[in-house]
Amino acid sequence: MSRYIASRILQALGVVLGVIVMTFVIARLIPGDPAIAYAGPRASVEELAAVREQFGLDLPMWQQFVSYVTGVLHGDLGISLHTKQPVTSDLIQVLPTTLVLVGIALVFAAIVGIPLGIAAARWHGTFGDVAAKIIAILMVSMPVFWLAILLQIVFFSRLGWLPVAGQYDSAYDSISPLYTVIGVPVIDSLLTGNWPVFVNAAAHMILPVCAIAAYPIGAVAMVTRGSLLENLGEEHVRMVRALGFPERAVFGRFALRPSLNPIVSLIALVFAYALTNSFIVESVFNWPGLGSYAVRAFVSLDIPAILGITLIVALLYVLLNLIVDLAQAVIDPRVRA
């Protein structure tokens, strides 16, 4: 067991190193002079040289690589060309917002998707099963940017039920001022017991959460259904059924439990997908998180920021995969083999 864990961690570290190399390679592929982008409009030739020296852009490639790796290991991802702040501090500022949004979307997806999958498997072959399947496929086939815009039009423009964009109405700043805890209004207001802002912020989350959750709901439902059906087909389950156990027990105890494993491993995949989809959803809903930061970095040709985002998302993904693998190894000893 500990050998498995050690080798798995080692493997993850190798991947992390590879990820760092790859971001560096991408950075060097990018045309254009980062010094000019940073030094700005009126920079003289001398100022440009100074900036090159400051950021080590005049050094040989291998030295730049060494200093890049050293920097990354120290949490230094360079200075954003757009915000002129360290990319690391920018990311620390925007990441909680996005993680809260994606986290809530995933929880929501599990709450809706798992029962949907179970129901489809339970009433396998019926019209309901086919309907559930079609719904799930629609969800995973939905272009997220289009869905986000449609949600805005329907629930804001046409029905007027939900707010269109942003995190909460700034009007509350004067009525019920919000104290910052982690920088995400919906959590901050909850932690400080600021109910008016909480209700308002929660309403602002509904549409973006739905847009992000669409794909995970479909994926979770399909995996749950498929995995349950597979287990129901297993010999031992059939035997239990033949022995006259009630259908509910067969279903719950012998089929459902082993089916949870694939769902756990699905989390990492769906997380990655939801995180990149949040890029688009955030920009449509003007949600000030990683996605909006990324979209702005693209139009600003802000290479340090783009690389920082790529790196941080890849690292999150590696980490989550590691946790999922280790968790599964603990739950199911067969995985270690």
- Looking at residues 208 to 237 of the shown chain, list those that interact with other proteins (rule: CB under 8 A): 219, 222-223, 225-227, 229-230, 233
Give the nearest distance from C-beta 72 to other proteins in angstroms.
15
Q: Which of residues 118-177 bind other proteins (CB under 8 A)?
A: 124-125, 130, 133-134, 137-138, 140-146, 149-150, 152-153, 156-157, 163-167, 169-171, 173-174
Q: Which of residues 190-209 bind other proteins (CB under 8 A)?
A: none
Burial class (CB in 10 A: 0-12, 13-18, 19+), 113: buried
Residue 25 or 191: the one with the smaller Cβ distance to other proteins is 25
Element (H, E) at 328: helix 303-331
User: Which range, of 28-36, 189-197, 205-213, 243-251, touches other proteins by CB under 8 A?
Assistant: 28-36
Are 94 and 289 in contact, with CB atoms under 8 Å apart? yes
User: Which range, of 52-60, 105-113, 245-253, 319-327, touches other proteins by CB under 8 A?
Assistant: 319-327
Give the nearest distance from C-beta 142 to other proteins in angstroms.
6
Are 38 and 55 in contact, with CB atoms under 8 Å apart? yes
Residue 72 or 313: the one with the smaller Cβ distance to other proteins is 313
Report residue 176 as tokens.
């019920």
Are 285 and 166 in contact, with CB atoms under 8 Å apart? yes
CA dihedral 35, 36, 41, 45 (to 10 degrees): 80
**Using CB under 8 A, which of 108, 198, 254, 279 touches other proteins?**
279
Residue 63 or 85: the one with the smaller Cβ distance to other proteins is 85
Residue 66 or 131: the one with the smaller Cβ distance to other proteins is 131
Residue 95 or 270: the one with the smaller Cβ distance to other proteins is 270
Give the nearest distance from C-beta 143 to other proteins in angstroms.
4
Give the nearest distance from C-beta 32 to other proteins in angstroms.
7
Give the nearest distance from C-beta 104 to other proteins in angstroms.
19
**What does the alpha-carbon distance between residue 86 and residue 331 come to, in Å, rounded to a whole number?**
41
**What does the alpha-carbon distance between residue 328 and residue 314 come to, in Å, rounded to a whole number?**
21
Residue 59 or 316: the one with the smaller Cβ distance to other proteins is 316
Are 77 and 311 in contact, with CB atoms under 8 Å apart? yes
Q: What is the DSSP letter of 32?
A: S
**What does the alpha-carbon distance between residue 46 and residue 26 come to, in Å, rounded to a whole number?**
28
User: Which range, of 51-59, 60-68, 84-92, 206-214, touches other proteins by CB under 8 A?
Assistant: 84-92
What DSSP line would sit under 146-191, residue for residue? HHHHHHHIIIIIIS--S--SSSS-TTHHHHSPPPPSSS-HHHHHHH
Q: Which of residues 284-303 bind other proteins (CB under 8 A)?
A: 284-286, 288, 292-296, 298-302
Q: Which of residues 240-269 bind other proteins (CB under 8 A)?
A: 262, 265-266, 268-269
Count, residues near other proteins per rule CB under 8 A? 109
CA 89 from centre of chain: 19
**Using CB under 8 A, which of 187, 272, 326, 327 touches other proteins?**
272
Burial class (CB in 10 A: 0-12, 13-18, 19+), 129: middle
Give the nearest distance from C-beta 192 to other proteins in angstroms.
19
Burial class (CB in 10 A: 0-12, 13-18, 19+), 6: exposed
Q: Which of residues 29-68 bind other proteins (CB under 8 A)?
A: 29-33, 36-37, 40-45, 48
